[in-house]
Amino acid sequence: MDDRFRIHDQLMERAKRVVPGGVYGHAVLAPPRHPRFFSEGRGCRVKDVDGNEYIDLMCSFGPNLLGMQHEAVERAAAGQRRLGNCFAGPTERWVELAEALTERIAHADWAMFQKNGTDATTLCMTIARAATGRRKILLAEGAYHGAIPWCTPSAGGVLPEDRAHLLYYRFNDLDSARAAAREAGSDLAGIMVSPFRHDAFVDQEMPSPEFARGLRGICDEHDAVLMMDEVRAGLRLARGSSWEHLGVEPDLGAWGKSLGNGYPISAVVGRESLRDAAASIYSTGSFWYSAVPMAAALECLRVVDELDLPTRLEQNGARLRAGIHGLASSHGFSLRQTGPSQMPQILFEDDADFRKGSFFAEDALARGVYFHPFHNMFLSAAHTEEVIDECLERLGPAFSALRREVGGD
């Protein structure tokens, strides 16, 4: 780290004495010379602890859908905070939010609330098993669904038994899903899938209609439960369920991240046929009734509709994508820009070790643009056309620096 990160480095030294590893989780995923500690943020601009300011193209890995400190959301949260947050049971917000989700998501006849995406994906699997009385769940190879033993990407402390009834298929490969379903046989409880393949390190893949319909077909044929992990993509691709444009609705949806525009809340929504199974499970957490995040989520959903946000994000994402394409070509680089433009993944050709991507991300950081070299980015309502253009202005010199680094200038 250089002088730009003086306070940061001191803080990391202190952290390492009192927190295992200093920081853990997705903050560790960032390139070595990216800041881990932040101090403030507004809209899509964040400051690290040294006061360096960045346009955040990661939206804190998703949650900041409307931008940080969004006025209307903060007003709603503050109004609820004045009344109280954490009671022995829920408030009226609980019912209002369940009503709002069942109104907007076609397959949702009911909703349940938690805190994290992992809570929601795990509850989906429990409901699928409770409803079917079966054990096997199919997951896409390499897909991220959370950080507890059944799904965490690391091996430490994980037992084979934690994953004993999980079988794997490849995203967009219906034959592999059919083979896994055959292996599960009469013990197939359900299939979990994300709206698109948004794995880190690789090109993103949109689902083919055949794949989406095929998974639906397998579940229908086996009376199994189709679960959609909307935690990362939810509300950026569509107003309701992310596969609604394909005419495919899952039976259960796991939502999180952007639902409360940064406030901790996640949800499971489901079909009528799964209501009794969902009600049969003892599912709770000390903070799951918290009313402030629910007030924030209600307002967040209202603003998403007011702005027709998925369309706006798609358009501004397309502007970023086209601008980056132009800059890359004029500097002699080939890029693979994949995934929906609202959540772009940008990988350099001939960059298996991510050296070009990492250099580019670090140089861009020094110019005030924060993103990740091999994890999808996220756009928010605060990334206006002007902000996108400002990013592009800063990224031009980053491409020039990369050109000098790899030679040929």
Q: Is 339 in the site for ligand PMP (CB under 6 A)?
A: no
Instruction: Give me the sign of the Cα torsion angle 280, 214, 248, 146.
Output: positive
Output 50 or 199, the one with its CB closest to ligand PMP.
Answer: 199
Smaller CB distance to ligand PMP: residue 94 or 144?
144
DSSP bridge pairs for 347: 336
Residue range at the interface with ligand PMP (CB under 6 A); choices 49-57, 139-147, 164-172, 245-253: 139-147
Name which of 253, 169, 255 is nearest 218 in CA terms. Answer: 169
Query: Which residue number has the CB closest to ligand PMP?
Result: 117
**Interatomic CA distance for residues 409 and 404, integer angstroms:** 6
DSSP, collapsed to helix, strand or coil, labels residue 346 as strand
Q: How far is the CB of 294 from ligand PMP (least distance, A)?
A: 16
**Phi, psi angles (nearest 5°) of residue 222:** -100, 5
Q: Does 232 bind ligand PMP (CB under 6 A)?
A: yes
Q: How far apart are CA 199 and CA 376, in angstroms?
A: 8
Q: CA 175 to CA 167: how far, in whole Å?
A: 14
Pick from 141, 236, 234, 125: which is nearest to 179 by CA? 141
CB of 3 to ligand PMP, least distance (A): 32
- State in angstroms the smallest separation of the CB of 63 from ligand PMP: 8
Q: Is 145 in the site for ligand PMP (CB under 6 A)?
A: yes
244/405 Cα distance (integer angstroms): 45
Q: Which is nearer to ligand PMP, 143 or 322 (CB)?
A: 143
| The total number of residues written for the chain in this structure | 409
In sequence order, what are the residues at sequence separation of 6 or more whose Cβ sits closer than 8 angstroms to the Cβ of residue 352? none
Q: Per CB under 6 A, does 256 bind ligand PMP? A: yes
The answer to whether 229 contacts ligand PMP (rule: CB under 6 A) is yes
Q: C-beta of 4: minimal distance to ligand PMP in Å?
A: 28
Residue closer to ligand PMP (CB basis): 207 or 256: 256
Tell me which of 52, 121, 132, 342 binds ligand PMP, using CB under 6 A: 121
Binding segment for ligand PMP (CB under 6 A), chosen from 43-51, 226-234, 269-277, 371-379, is: 226-234
- Pattern of binders to ligand PMP over 16-35, x per CB under 6 A? --------------------
Q: How far is the CB of 380 from ligand PMP (least distance, A)?
A: 16
Stretch that binds ligand PMP, among 35-43, 115-123, 242-250, 327-335 (CB under 6 A): 115-123
Asked if 357 is part of the footprint of ligand PMP (rule: CB under 6 A), the reply reads: no
How far is Cα 122 from Cα 141, in angstroms, rounded to an integer?
Answer: 17
- Give burial (CB, 10 Å; 0-12/13-18/19+) of 36: middle
User: Which of 64, 91, 194, 316 is close enough to bind ligand PMP by CB under 6 A?
Assistant: 194
**C-beta closer to ligand PMP: residue 56 or 351:** 56
Nearer to ligand PMP (CB atom), residue 344 or residue 363: 344
Of 289, 199, 200, 209, which Cα lies nearest the Cα of 243? 209
Q: Which residues partner with 169 through β-bridges?
A: 140
- DSSP H or E segment with residue 47: strand 45-48
Lateral strand order in the sheet of 166-169: 110-114, 266-270, 252-255, 225-229, 188-193, 136-140, 166-169
User: Shortest gap between Cβ of 114 and ligand PMP (angstroms)?
Assistant: 9
The contact set with ligand PMP (CB under 6 A) reads 116-118, 121, 144-146, 194, 229, 231-232, 256
